[in-house]
Amino acid sequence: MNFITELAKEIKSEYAQVASEIDDREEYTDSGCYILNAVLSGSIRGGVSSNKITAIAGESSTGKTFFSLAVVQNFLNDNPEGGVIYFDTESAITKKLLEERSIDTKRCIVSKVLTIEQFRTQALKIVDKCLQTPAEDRKPLMFVLDSLGMLSTEKEITDALNDKQVRDMTKSQLVKGAFRMLTLKLGQANIPMLVTNHTYDVIGAYVPTKEMGGGSGLKYAASTIIYLSKKKEKDGTEVVGNLIKVKTAKSRLSKENKEVTVRLYYDERGLDRYYGLLELGELGGLWKNVAGRYEMDGKKVYAKAILADPEKYFTDDIMEQLDEIAKQQYSYGSST
């Protein structure tokens, strides 16, 4: 035993390890959309990190909650013994909504939280409970906070009850403190966390700039931050969903400032799994788009026809090639 190993044991902390013994293999939860997986993790087979905080930020009605529910559904499908703790600050999550998204309601706890203090206390208690359980006996668990921007503070509520018209200057510090305590514990317990948040326009910026609300706490704690913006998706004159532009504002797992577009349906279909792959293949030179048609298998086919029957065109071989293109475009270490 060398002196470094002896020092690590002397520290007597579950958080201290010799670097050569650290298991840093990344595991992911499928987001439900291949191109979204690519921009989040650098691979269409990846997705949301399985032990880090991922922030989903955007204006109202950009689909932040539906993005989160798509990940929740896939997490529960991939982990038959797993569960989800959904911290709901907007009273938006109902049994009907979860069932419409094919989410197992028996494995999902919805906790209505009003203040940052309530969220912090509940989350820490659950994580500590998990850490007290031997690692081999722990069941997979995911946290969702939807949304950070709607959380109040105990002081803000007290001031309102006393009719005090003052701004609560403690909120950003409470947010920062909550995530500072949670980040390391979540990683230690292998609990992924999704946090949705609102954005606002930065006044006086030289170019139009969006920023997340709630101070810098989430900005520093999250391993990945994606910003969403939208436009309507129509079928003829009927609005059937949104086309969501996703931009990585921060990422420790893939290249930053990359953009992709995903399709989110209003009905139970949710995120379109294959939308965006045609553009990815074109970007990598796998095929060309000529007047809205793509040449695949020697035939020129319209994008709408391909996406209507994706498994016919996106074969296993094509998916492997698309994954290589995704790694070149979005993974760290590539020169693209």
Domain CATH code at residue 165: 3.40.50.300
Phi then psi for residue 103, to 5 deg, are: -100, 130
Rounded-to-integer distance, Cα 83 and Cα 106, Å: 9
Residue 159 lies in a domain: yes
Domain membership flag for residue 163 = yes
137/60: higher pLDDT: 137
Residue in the structure block whose two tokens are 């139009």: 208
15 pLDDT band (50/70/90 cuts)? low
Q: How confident is the model at residue 212 (pLDDT cuts 50, 70, 90)?
A: confident
Q: In 3-state terms, what secondary structure has residue 211?
A: strand
Burial tier of 58 (Cβ tally within 10 Å: 0-12, 13-18, 19+): buried
**Is residue 154 included in any domain, yes or no?**
yes
Looking at residue 246, its pLDDT comes to 94
| Residue pLDDT, tens place only, 32-62 | 899 999 999 999 999 999 889 999 999 887 8
Task: Domain of residue 230: give its range.
Answer: 24-276
- What per-residue confidence (pLDDT) applies to 335? 54
Tell me if 56 is assigned to some domain. Answer: yes
Retrieve residue 268's tokens. Answer: 């139970």
Residue 239 has pLDDT above 90, yes or no: no
Overall size of the chain counted in residues: 336
Contacts by 87-90, CB closer than 8 A, 24 or more apart: 87/111, 87/113, 87/119, 87/122, 87/123, 87/143, 87/144, 87/145, 87/146, 88/112, 88/113, 88/146, 89/113, 89/114, 89/119, 89/145, 89/146, 89/147, 89/148, 89/150, 89/151, 90/146, 90/147, 90/150
Q: At what angle do helices 34-41 and 316-330 cross, to 10 degrees?
A: 30
Contact 223, 52 (CB under 8 A): yes
For 278-312, write each residue's pLDDT tens digit: 999 999 999 999 888 998 877 899 999 999 999 99
Query: Residue 13 falls within a domain, yes or no?
Result: no
Are the C-beta atoms of residues 254 and 52 closer than 8 Å to each other? no
Q: 225 in a domain, yes or no?
A: yes
23, pLDDT greater than 70: no
Is 118 inside any structural domain?
A: yes
192-217 burial by CB neighbour count: b if 16+ within 10 A, else e? bbbbbbbbeeeeeeeeeebebbbbeb
- The residues pairing with 58 across neighbouring beta strands, listed in sequence order, are 198, 228
Q: Is 310 inside a domain boundary? A: no
Please give the residue that has the higher pLDDT: either 122 or 158: 122
Tally of domains in the chain: 1
